[in-house]
Amino acid sequence: MQRIEENGGLDYLVWREGSEGTVEIFDIAVTSHREQGIGRRLVERLKEEVKPQFIFAFTREGNSVARSFYKGIGFTEIAIIKGFYGTENGVMVGIKL
């Protein structure tokens, strides 16, 4: 796992490199100032620094904030995964670069 940080580590993105140019985002946390593009900047830094061919992530089906965030930065919903989070479905999102 690797981490990209901003604002002294208050805001961060945790990711890992997969095979064949893929990157999986495990966590994005923006605690300092929401709605100011920090999450978008973290993803842009990931794109610039790692230069992956494809980025994907999972979120809870009921997490409308995360789903809206990913959609707003160009990710598409790839699949609904039943029971991914135990009693809640997961949504796989991704973007081809």
| Domain annotation for the chain: domains and CATH numbers | 2-96 (3.40.630.30)
Collapsed DSSP state (helix, strand, coil) of residue 59: strand
pLDDT in tens, 59-95: 999 999 999 999 999 999 999 999 999 999 999 999 9
Distance, in Å, from the CA atom of 56 to the CA atom of 89, rounded to the nearest integer, reads 16
pLDDT in tens, 45-60: 999 999 999 999 999 9
Predicted TM-score (pTM) of the model is: 0.90
Name residue 70's amino acid: Y
pLDDT of residue 33: 77
- Of the candidates 54, 81, 65, which has an alpha carbon nearest to the alpha carbon of residue 29? 65
Residue 35: pLDDT above 90?
Answer: no
pLDDT of residue 43: 97
pLDDT of residue 36: 84
